[in-house]
Amino acid sequence: MSQSPFLRSIYEHMLARHYSRRTIKAYLYWIKAYINFNSKRHPSGLEAAEVQRFLTHLSVNRNVAPGTQSVALNALVFLYKQILNRPLGDIGEFRRSKREPKLPVVLTESEVSRLLGALEGVHYLMAALMYGSGLRRMELVRLRIKDVDFDHMLLRIWHSKGGKSRATTLAQELIQPLKQQILRAEEYMQQDRLLPDYCGVFLPNALARKYPNGPFQRGWQYLFPSSKRSVEPGTSNIRRHHVDESGINKLIRRARTKAGIEKEVTSHTLRHSFATHLLQAGADIRTVQEQLGHSDVKTTETYTHVLKRGAQGVQSPLSRLRQH
């Protein structure tokens, strides 16, 4: 897709500083939307008042979710500070997006069993890890071999949502499938090392400096490597990235259909089910909060509502009539 020279310069700036592809795509989207909203005027001629109006427009006219509005704000803060060298400062009051909180879709244990039973091989392992360890989709695909700790039966998740890192439980039943997957990842590594132009697996700048041989070491390889090598964006480096996360929801939807489950199911539904089933089994809410990596326990408390009987735990009077 063609870009204006200005947007292209932002793209190259972010690539050079190793922003994730998801962040680059999101920031460029909202910066372009901001420019279009302001009749395609260059942002250097726009002030905080225009930013305020744009964010209010997103809430009032586009009815975006609070998280989406926050991403748009972050993109514009980045634009003014890093690209225009003119930090925004106080942009004043703008209409904050609000949406009624929705209870998460949660599968029963029987439904989870049926869903997992409709998958096999590496697809089964991916889904089983998202349910068994409460992983987000990106946390799953970014796992590296060294993050699997068989001695302590845990997974280490680094720099996830909000920059948080954590350790989460690992199911005993996944030891053998995981060891088989590690062998597959090692086979890819051995094949790749034979290529003279291969640059090893990607490591962020700080880690690449600290571990110069890391890109070629077993522990740093992605647990779920892509089946194809590719050129690292913005460079000529040949690397093997992790699998594309966009395909995971597709395989989950296919499994849902095969299993005859009517609920709307995504990869995140497995994480919701993990949390709810832990609480159902008597786990302390603080423990569940740590397993999920939530900053605020109020986020975790959403799952306690799922467990309540009826609305607010109130028994219907119709149920009492049936007792007489």
Q: Which of 240, 256, 271, 277 is catalytic?
A: 271
- For residues 254 and 262, is the Cβ–Cβ distance under 8 A? no
Q: State yes or no: is 268 an active-site residue.
A: yes
Q: State yes or no: is 17 an active-site residue.
A: no
Q: Which of 34, 136, 137, 166 is catalytic?
A: 136
Amino acid at 44: S
Distance CA 95, CA 91 (A): 12
Q: State yes or no: is 324 an active-site residue.
A: no
Q: State yes or no: is 286 an active-site residue.
A: no
Question: Which among 223, 240, 201 has a CA at the least distance from the CA of 147?
Answer: 223
Question: Which among 3, 16, 17, 10 has a CA at the least distance from the CA of 83?
Answer: 10
* Cα diameter, the chain: 81
Q: State yes or no: is 136 an active-site residue.
A: yes
Residues 6+ apart with CB under 8 A from 237: 199, 231
Q: Which of 25, 41, 161, 263 is catalytic?
A: 161
Q: State the angle between helix axes of 267-280 and 109-117 in degrees (0 to 180), rounded to the nearest 10.
A: 140
Active site residues: 136, 161, 268, 271, 294, 303
